[in-house]
């Protein structure tokens, strides 16, 4: 996204959060087509794109992102990029977009035998 946006609307914080500034967005849609994770959405209402900002304003005051607090099964966790991750933290799972270009900070904590190379889930 950083390289494809002609307006330079994306920046990555030191904590790994990617921020998009809609004020500079021209709505060309290039980033929507480039993102392998489908994370960026075009709004017909605003004529611009938007994306999750990991509730960066909440992180700045030591609050968790809203979805982490709201999830009734505790499926989401916030892992710091500055701390060592658990050995079970996988960089990708089957169905996730290609990580080779963007190197996302997302990690998957799974309990089953899910292959990291995108293979089948074993029972
Ligand atoms: S839609 Fe906006 S953010 Fe995306 S590439 Fe175009 S100008 Fe940049
Ligand atoms: S609630 Fe979750 S999905 Fe929504 S902006 Fe915050 S971190 Fe992103």
Residue 66, ligand 2, Cβ within 6 A: yes
Any idea which of 30-34, 58-62, 64-68, 77-81 has the lowest mean pLDDT?
A: 77-81
Instruction: Judge contact between 67 and 76, C-beta under 8 A.
Output: yes
Mean pLDDT value of segment 8-36: 94
For residue 122, what are the CA distances in angstroms to 91, 113, 119? Answer: 18, 6, 9
Residue 26, ligand 2, Cβ within 6 A: no
* Ligand 1 center from residue 48 Cα (angstroms): 7
Looking at residue 112, its pLDDT comes to 59
Nearest listed ligand to the Cα of residue 65: 2
Ligand 1 atom at minimal distance to the Cα of residue 34: 5
Confidence of residue 1 (pLDDT cuts 50, 70, 90): low
pTM of the predicted structure, to 2 decimals: 0.80
Nearest listed ligand to the Cα of residue 77: 2
Instruction: Judge contact between 98 and 91, C-beta under 8 A.
Output: no
Confidence of residue 3 (pLDDT cuts 50, 70, 90): confident
């Amino acid at each position: 996204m950083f390289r494809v946006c002609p307006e330079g609307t994306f920046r990555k914080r030191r904590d790994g959060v990617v921020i998009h500034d809609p004020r500079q967005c021209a709505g060309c849609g290039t980033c929507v087509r480039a993102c392998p994770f489908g994370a960026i959405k075009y709004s017909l209402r605003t004529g611009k794109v938007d994306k999750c900002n990991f509730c960066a304003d909440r992180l700045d005051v030591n609050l968790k992102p809203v979805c982490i607090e709201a999830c009734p099964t505790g499926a989401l966790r916030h892992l710091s990029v500055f701390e060592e991750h658990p050995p079970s933290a996988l960089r990708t799972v089957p169905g996730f977009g290609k990580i080779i270009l963007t190197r996302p900070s997302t990690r998957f904590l799974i309990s089953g035998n899910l292959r990291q190379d995108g293979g089948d889930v074993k029972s």
